[in-house]
Amino acid sequence: MNGKLMVTGIVGVALAMGVGLWYSQTYAYYERVDGLEEITAYGDAFPVSNYRGITADTSPLKLRACFDVDWDYVQSDTYKDAATPLQAPGWFDCFDAQTLTTDIASGEAVVLQAERNQPFGFSRFIAQYPDGRAFMWRQMNECGLAQFEGENLPESCTEEEASLSAPLGESRSFAAALPEVSAPEPVDLVIALTPVGGGAPEDILQEAVTALGGGTQSLWACFRTPMSTAMLTETYEVLDAVAPEKPTAILPCFDAEAVTFDVDRGDAVAFLGEKDVVPGVDRVVAVYEDGRALAWNQKRTN
């Protein structure tokens, strides 16, 4: 009888933890913003109707919105190739990133850049359909990508950064100001994740990445994952706590404090990479919804 109670208790705790993790990744930290009557674009306010949106203080990338406009529909390919809508949580069902991507590529929707580098490293886009439907999101631009990958900022980004009087954003994320230093030489590295339920780690990436250290006890790496966080979460083992150490040398794309904060707040999802890359040390991979990813080795705590 006691054994049954113990098993029931263990299952109950595991279920509660699973529900908590699911909630933190899909609902927590999002703020609903509905009913706005105007939005800003090009520095001016424009009227909108039927506004439904989500946002968060934790990351500029959480912005999504659906609304109607009566602006003139002007066909343009200026931002067609730059726009990459990011998937919204499943419960915010008016925003379908896959459909938007398809319609932008086919020309059924036109893309406008409403704002650039507010905050620095991010651009806000609006996709508009001829019938007045419109969708808004924020994504990382080439300035933010250069910072994340540890590269020197393009000249245009440097000039824009210097001209901005506002701080670089309140979110403690990879868009934060980074020292302008030369990135380490890319190294070949295999990134593997442990499937849900255990089993041998499966390779998800094998190419040159920005990294420090080797494949043993010390490793810090930055790359972009070819798989979405939704697919990764369904397939590989998720971790609810991380403890990356600060890199032993300058690696601008890797901020140990920021990634810990982002995983705790749900802005990134952490996965078990490989157990025992050396005895007692596991590899961990954290992935952001826009495809940025970090890998490091950390000592197992249990």
On whether the pTM is more than 0.85, the answer is: no
CB 293 within 8 A of CB 222: yes
Task: Please give the torsion angle defined by the CA atoms of residues 154, 160, 166 and 169, in that order, rounded to the nearest 10 degrees.
Answer: -30
Band (pLDDT 50/70/90 cuts) for residue 169 is very low
* Structure tokens, 66: 């659906």
Residue with tokens 């302008």: 180
Is 28 or 61 the better-scoring residue by pLDDT? 61
pLDDT at 94: 96
Query: Average pLDDT for residues 252-256, to the nearest whole number?
Result: 82
Query: Average pLDDT for residues 45-70, to the nearest whole number?
Result: 91
pLDDT at 22: 39
pLDDT at 27: 43
Which burial class, exposed, middle or buried, applies to 96 when counting CB atoms under 10 A from its CB (0-12, 13-18, 19+)?
middle
Q: 235: closest CA among 266, 283, 203?
A: 203
3-class DSSP state for residue 268?
Answer: strand
Query: Average pLDDT for residues 276-288, to the nearest whole number?
Result: 89
pLDDT > 50? residue 7: no
CB 41 within 8 A of CB 105: no
pLDDT > 80? residue 237: yes
* Structure tokens, 260: 């810990």
pLDDT > 70? residue 172: no
